[in-house]
Structure 1
Amino acid sequence: MRLSRRGIILGGSAMLAGCATASPPPPPITVAAVTPPPPPTYTAAVQIVPPPLDPQRLVRPELMSRAMAALDIHHERLPLRDRMYLVDFQKFSGEQRLYEVDLIGGRVTALRTSHGRGSDPEHSGFARRFSNEPESHMSSVGAYATAGPSWGSQQGPNVLLDGLEYSNNLARDRAIIIHGADYADPEFLAREGKLGRSYGCFSTAHTDLPMLRERMGHGRLLFAAA
């Protein structure tokens, strides 16, 4: 069979049209705009300011300053820095002169304590002399490390002390401790107008001793000064 020239042309046109519609062009690619992340924000560091130390100003500033210096000087023997204890022998024995200083919260609690009879031979209520000598019955000044609660055959419950300076380094040999005593109780003070005298120990009221035995522990500073 012979195809006319017209048939060949029409047939070829149909084939071209079929190819054109069989593979349409791909749709255009759209690229979404990318929003950059916001720059990081930095918050200023919050500075924690500790409460003021001794806001009631119960302790002489000089005594407080010397005690803080002693904490650094004897840091190897004083690992516990949450509180410390001070004794102000410039004050009358009937006054509160034994201080527990909260080094974190700043609060100061005041108690009473006796001094040695050798430090006040006239029993005036004021300690005038201080010694580290055995049998002197005098109080000793300087930095001590608390050595934990104990019990003695004569004084009963107590807190042991280790002297850290030349002025009190015989405290263990002299049995200088913290213990309760009748002559340091409020009834004695009300009757006599002053506390009685110890043999050099830091005697306290019987009602105050349990708290001190629990809180002084082992490795805190007791600093006594005149």
Structure 2
Amino acid sequence: MRLSRRGLILGGSALLAGCSSAASTSSVKLAGAVVPALPILPHRAAAPQIQVAEAGALIDPQGLVRKDLMERARAALDAHGHRIIQRDRMYLVDFQKFSGSERFYEVDLEGGRVTAYRTSHGRGSDPKHSGYAERFSNKPDSHMSSIGAYATGGAGWGSQQGPNVLLDGLEPTNDRARQRAIIIHGADYADPAFLAREGKLGRSYGCFSVSHADLVPLRERMGEGRLLFAMT
């Protein structure tokens, strides 16, 4: 890991270099990695003071999120309750979907509404730039996306990517997120103009890159201590 891409902590404020732009379609020869198996998470009842809508009733009335992703995310919400202290919203990423599709979801756990956004995956996860993520890794410099449960770490600012949302990986599949500078940030290659021109989003170095416009509400609303769950 080169120092220029590592997170720098100064006086309690995170100054993160973050992912570099990776919109190029040129192939990069990287060490392959098989999709790691997500741990089986036990289901535990939510804390009594948390009011969460029942799955299949109020949650996602539009049917935007596939059922197994929603179920695994709700199990992760309980399994990582010591780190997920905010239970009003959670965020899901469906890496089975094409990069040009809306596959980054904000789930309102109180009202049930789901808002969908677009997000990029790592260039190492899609070396042929097909628009589909095929490989995942937690290894530094793999430039691959990582799956599993994350806790949002609040708003940050990086010298390369500017405003962002910090992430802490909670599972063996992603627990090097801080070391790898995996964040949520805005990128030109995730903007609608790039999608209209190229037919798919560009690729990050493993970060969850979103359009500059979408980063504004996400950075404000994700805050600290909410779940982000990414799955294939």
Which category describes the TM-score, using the shorter chain as reference length?
Answer: 0.7 to 0.9
Match of 1:67 among 66, 70, 73: 73
Alpha-carbon displacement from aligned partner over 1:150-194 (angstroms, at most 9, x marks no partner): 100001000000000000000000000000000000000000000
Letter in structure 1 aligned against 2:171: E
Letter in structure 1 aligned against 2:100: G
Match of 1:149 among 155, 169, 175: 155
> Which residue of structure 1 aligns with residue 113 of structure 2?
107
> Which residue of structure 2 aligns with residue 132 of structure 1?
138
Letter in structure 2 aligned against 1:97: R
Over 4 Å off, 4+ runs = 48-51
> Which residue of structure 2 aligns with residue 197 of structure 1?
203
1:79 counterpart = 2:47? no
- If you compute each CA radius of gyration, which structure gives the higher value, 1 or 2? 1
Alpha-carbon displacement from aligned partner over 1:84-126 (angstroms, at most 9, x marks no partner): 0000000000000000000000000000000000000000000
| 3-state secondary structure, aligned to 2:85 | coil
Once the two structures are TM-superposed, the CA of residue 216 in structure 1 deviates from its matched residue by 0.2
How many pairs are equivalent?
179
Gaps of 5+ in 1: 1-47
Gaps of 5+ in 2: 1-50
Q: State the distance in 1 between where 2:87 and 2:66 align.
A: 20
Match of 1:213 among 195, 212, 219: 219
Q: State the distance in 1 between where 2:52 and 2:174 align.
A: 36
Match of 2:179 among 169, 173, 186: 173
Letter in structure 2 aligned against 1:157: P
Instruction: Tell me, yes or no, if the aligned pair for 2:95 and 2:231 is still in contact at 8 Å.
Output: yes
| 3-state secondary structure, aligned to 1:173 | coil
How much identity, in percent, do the aligned residues show? 75
TM-score normalised according to structure 2 size: 0.76
Once the two structures are TM-superposed, the CA of residue 49 in structure 1 deviates from its matched residue by 10
1:119 counterpart = 2:125? yes
- Between 1:50-59 and 1:93-102, the stretch displaced more is 50-59
| 3-state secondary structure, aligned to 2:179 | helix
Instruction: Tell me, yes or no, if the aligned pair for 2:89 and 2:108 is still in contact at 8 Å.
Output: yes
Q: State the distance in 1 between where 2:133 and 2:174 align.
A: 16
Q: Which has the higher contact order (CA 8 A, sep 6+)?
A: 2
Aligned in 2, Cα 1:134/1:49: closer, same or farther, shift over 3 Å? closer
* Greater helix content: 1
Letter in structure 2 aligned against 1:67: A
Question: CA-atom RMSD, angstroms?
Answer: 1.2
